[in-house]
Amino acid sequence: MVQRQLPNPAELFELMKFKKPDLNSKRRRLESALTINDLRTVAKRRTPKAAFDYTDGGAEGELSMNRARQAFEDITFHPDILRPAEHVDTSTEILGGRSALPFGIAPTGFTRLMQTEGEIAGAGAAGAAGIPFTLSTLGTTSIEDVKAANPNGRNWFQLYVMRDREISYGLARRAAAAGFDTLMFTVDTPVAGARLRDKRNGFAIPPQLTLGTIINALPRPWWWIDFLTTPKLEFASLATTGGTVGDLLNAAMDPTISYEDLAIIRDIWPGKIVIKGVQNVEDSRRLIDLGVDGIILSNHGGRQLDRAPVPFHLLPEVVREVGKDATIMVDTGIMNGADIVASIALGAKFALIGRAYLYGLMAGGREGVDRTIDILRVEIIRTMQLLGVSSLDELEPRHVTQLVRLVPLTPSLRAAQAGLTS
């Protein structure tokens, strides 16, 4: 029989301690976000649909984007037991410098449209965290202003080779003069991908007002106040700032880029150079043989060719082909620190985050980017401790098994199917 009694008021008060209310609404919503998906939810609530969808969407049916995210979910970790990992070292050497974490911020275009602090928030947060920040050719903050926002940190510059080659060469020279230490030559964007969300939303620069956009903006006055009361968008490269996103991208890209352009840019650029957008083993081997400082396995966040290879799936094969000492980096689909740990275990030297950074930016400006980095840091440390490793160097392929959903149709299967239909 349970013995019952009247509650003791002293004990009751001890058990029922109320949390002190936080009157800072930004801090409240960011602290309540425990994952990158939580930040995405906040970002979607606070950002007009057209701007949010530009970040959140991919090309055509968004298969490349969704498959990349699914690939990171389809893994099994294999932890070691009785391996103390009380203190975890997450730092790594990448492209001639130290990074406090095994990831940096990827280049993103039109960033200030997502949230007015834009690249300044990203560069400042990256500098504070001790990780690299990458400015896009289609960024909305100048090279010099990014340098000013992150004067002592590592700044990288992403370069598109445009129809007017001298514009691209001039940008490379400006970035070098400003002290950017790495050039990220992007090769997977000869033309703009078909970003259907943007077309359906009528997304343009500057934003085009319709009845739908006005209705969607009404519950988000802060975004419009920020947009209208801050300086006009400034692109790092484009002389014109008007038109649809597809128009602007196609004006900047050139489908005729080749290895000859790579040779010219290598002559211009004094620092490290990496090639972004590599999507097969053969190109990986050729680029490493040519002596580039690194390659980034990437399908542009699923924003270019839909049904493109999944970079995380490609990673082990490329590492086997070019050797584990080559600098292989990976992006696309990273939404959790465990995704980064798995990539390092399978041979990547570094990872880059794009959407995850922008979700944080839209959720809370600079503080939101800080929150993104902190969430990923905590997830990386916890995953490593649970695996029983104290440093990134201890991660090995044996720690990760990639599970398979979509497998290639083999010749034997095709022949069998042909026999059934004949």
pLDDT digits (tens, 9 = 90+) for 226-276: 888 888 777 766 665 555 666 667 766 788 889 999 999 999 999 999 999
- Taking residue 75's Cβ as centre, other Cβ atoms within 10 Å add up to 18
Nearest CA among 119, 70, 353, 52 for reference residue 42:
52
Which listed residue (78, 87, 300, 399) is catalytic? Answer: 300
* pLDDT band (50, 70, 90) for residue 214: confident
Is there a catalytic annotation at residue 300? yes
Nearest CA among 24, 58, 200, 126 for reference residue 361:
126
Tell me what the mean pLDDT of segment 147-163 comes to: 94
Decide: 110 and 50 in contact? Cβ < 8 Å. Answer: no
Q: Which residues on neighbouring strands pair with residue 99, listed in sequence order? A: 92
Q: Is the pLDDT of residue 129 over 60?
A: yes
Angle between helices 355-387 and 337-345 (to 10 degrees): 60
Q: Say which amino acid occupies 52.
A: F
What digits encode the pLDDT tens for the residues 317-334? 999 999 999 999 999 999
What is the DSSP code (8-state) at residue 229?
T
Between residues 127 and 220, which one has the greater pLDDT? 127
What digits encode the pLDDT tens for the residues 335-366? 999 999 999 999 999 999 999 999 999 999 99
Q: Which CATH number fits domain 26-402: 3.40.190.290, 3.20.20.70, 3.40.1080.10, 3.30.70.60?
A: 3.20.20.70
Please give the Cα distance from 257 to 105 (Å, whole number): 25
Please give the Cα distance from 246 to 110 (Å, whole number): 12
**Predicted local confidence at residue 286, as pLDDT:** 96
Decide: 330 and 298 in contact? Cβ < 8 Å. Answer: yes
Please give the Cα distance from 355 to 370 (Å, whole number): 14
**Predicted local confidence at residue 207, as pLDDT:** 64
Please give the Cα distance from 377 to 399 (Å, whole number): 19
Phi, psi at 202, each rounded to 5°:
65, 35
Decide: 161 and 168 in contact? Cβ < 8 Å. Answer: yes
Give me the chain's average pLDDT, please. 89
Phi, psi at 276, each rounded to 5°:
-105, 130
Cis-peptide, bond into residue 206, ω within 30° of zero? yes
Lowest-confidence pick of 34-43, 205-214, 300-309 = 205-214
